[in-house]
Amino acid sequence: MSVTGLPFDDFRILIRDLPGHDVAALAAARARNRQLTKPEGSLGRLEEIAMWLAAWSGRTPAVNRPLVAVFAGNHGVARHGITPYPVEVTQQMVENFAAGGAAINQICATYDLGLKIFDLALDYPTGDITCEEALSERDCAATMAFGMEAIAGGTDLLCIGEMGIGNTAVAAAINLALYGGEAEDWVGPGTGSHGEVLERKIAAVKQAVAFHKDHLSDPLEVLRRLGGREIAAMAGAILAARMEKIPVLIDGYVATAAAAILKAANPAALDHCLIGHVSGEPGHMRAIEQLGKTPLLALGMRLGEGTGAALAAGIVKAAAACHSGMATFEQAGVANKG
């Protein structure tokens, strides 16, 4: 971080000057793709995924060390009674992840994905966004920097997920600030809010965006005022992956809101990312459309924890394996089209 200046200064430069894709690696992958023993284009989106891997990793498509990073945070806004589950569940689920008892553990085991859990000051919930900033600029920048360290152990495919009671309201507030519309367009049930709980959730999101309205033209201000620690860390991790040539799979509604901050700051910021799965949270598809993306999967899940991204990692692994392992027409002695 800067010794002088504001904590966001370095991030503003980083986000502005992001590296582009690897032109030579993409050309090489396209050339090989044309030689593989299949009718041209017949692997559909798998071929696009292989080209995306080449472009953003700068190498022949390969997924040998996939990693799911789950960031956990707690939220001051949860005190408004906007969730059916108590805030203690964030810490309890972190312990469940560590013990191997959550859905994400089983999906990671199924597809041989690494899993790292990052809990972010769970005893210190963010400020209540209806009437104060979620994070100071210093805390937000430090948490983004912490998120950047998620890839420090090395990976070649990063899946981004989260855990945090109350964070679907926070994601809704970010989307309302970035894209406008009505709070009702962005607030959904999350873990199952309905009736009066859902009404309070809608009211809290409205109030939060109204309270901060004079400061929301700057995406990093949206992040620190309306976001949360896991959201800031996810944004940092996505940025670090771009710098280190690591393709990224984004999970559900909440992870997409973290990504949306970066896209709002630089329209090219998510070119190294795919959305793994469209969540059952009603606003997710609308948010994905704002990013100009098409999700890989639609399984009706609405869990978070990185589960949608992790399931999509199985598809990305298969795309890389097809690209690198299939025989060419020449190798297999199969006649190509004339």
Ligand X SMILES: Cc1cc2nc[nH]c2cc1C
* Binding characters for ligand NCN, 205-244, by CB under 6 A (x = yes): ----------------------------------------
Helix or strand holding residue 308 (H, E): helix 307-325
Nearer of residues 57 and 74 to ligand X, judged by Cβ = 74
DSSP state of 189: -
Which amino acid, 24? A
**Binding segment for ligand X among 1-9, 150-158, 264-272, 303-311 (CB under 6 A)?**
303-311
Residue 130 as a binder of ligand NCN (CB under 6 A): the answer is: no
Distance from C-alpha of 133 to C-alpha of 327, rounded to nearest angstrom: 56
From 24-32, 193-201, 229-237, 300-308, give the range in contact with ligand X by CB under 6 A. Answer: 300-308
Residue count at the site for ligand NCN (CB under 6 A)? 23
Task: Provide the minimum distance between the beta carbon of 297 and ligand X in the complex, in angstroms, as a whole number.
Answer: 17
Tokens found for residue 65: 């060390």
Name which position in 167, 223, 232, 295 contacts ligand NCN (CB under 6 A).
167
CB contact at 8 A, 196 and 260 = no
Please say whether the beta carbons of 133 and 289 come within 8 A. Answer: no
By CB under 6 A, the residues from 37 to 96 that bind ligand X are: 85, 89, 93
Give the sign of the dihedral formed by CA 236, CA 239, CA 245, CA 248. Answer: positive
Percent helix, strand, coil in the chain, to 5, is 55, 10, 40
Residue among 235, 272, 270 at smallest CA distance from 69: 235
Residue of 48, 196, 305, 330 marked catalytic:
305
Q: Which two tokens stand for residue 323?
A: 């690209």
Q: Sheet containing 114-119: give its strands across.
A: 114-119, 66-72, 157-163, 248-250, 273-275
User: Tokens 């400020």 appear where?
Assistant: 127
Catalytic annotation present for 132: no
CB of 190 to ligand X, least distance (A): 8
**Is residue 306 part of the contact set for ligand NCN (CB under 6 A)?**
no
Residue 166 interacts with which of ligand X, ligand NCN, none, CB < 5 to 8 Å by class: ligand NCN
In the complex, the smallest distance separating the C-beta of residue 8 from ligand X, rounded to whole angstroms, is 29
Closest CA to 277 of 300, 257, 254, 245: 300
Cβ-based nearer residue to ligand X, 133 or 251: 251
Least Å distance between CB 312 and ligand X?
17
> With respect to ligand NCN, which residue has the nearer C-beta, 37 or 191?
191
Q: Which stretch binds ligand X (CB under 6 A): 72-80, 151-159, 262-270, 299-307?
A: 299-307
Q: Which helix (H) or strand (E) holds 118?
A: strand 114-119
The one of ligand NCN, ligand X, none whose footprint includes residue 147, by CB under 5 to 8 A per kind, is none
Candidate segments 47-55, 118-126, 168-176, 302-310, binder of ligand X by CB under 6 A: 302-310
Specify the pairing of strand 248-250 against strand 157-163. Answer: parallel
191 counts as binding ligand X under rule CB under 6 A: yes
* Residues forming a β-bridge with 71: 118, 162
313's enclosing H/E stretch is helix 307-325
Q: CB of residue 240 vs ligand NCN: minimum separation in angstroms?
A: 21
Of 35, 102, 31, 116, the C-alpha closest to 337 is: 35
Q: Catalytic positions, please?
A: 305
Binding positions for ligand NCN, rule: CB under 6 A = 83, 162-169, 190-191, 193, 251-254, 279, 281, 284, 302-305
Binding positions for ligand X, rule: CB under 6 A = 85, 89, 93, 163, 191, 303-305
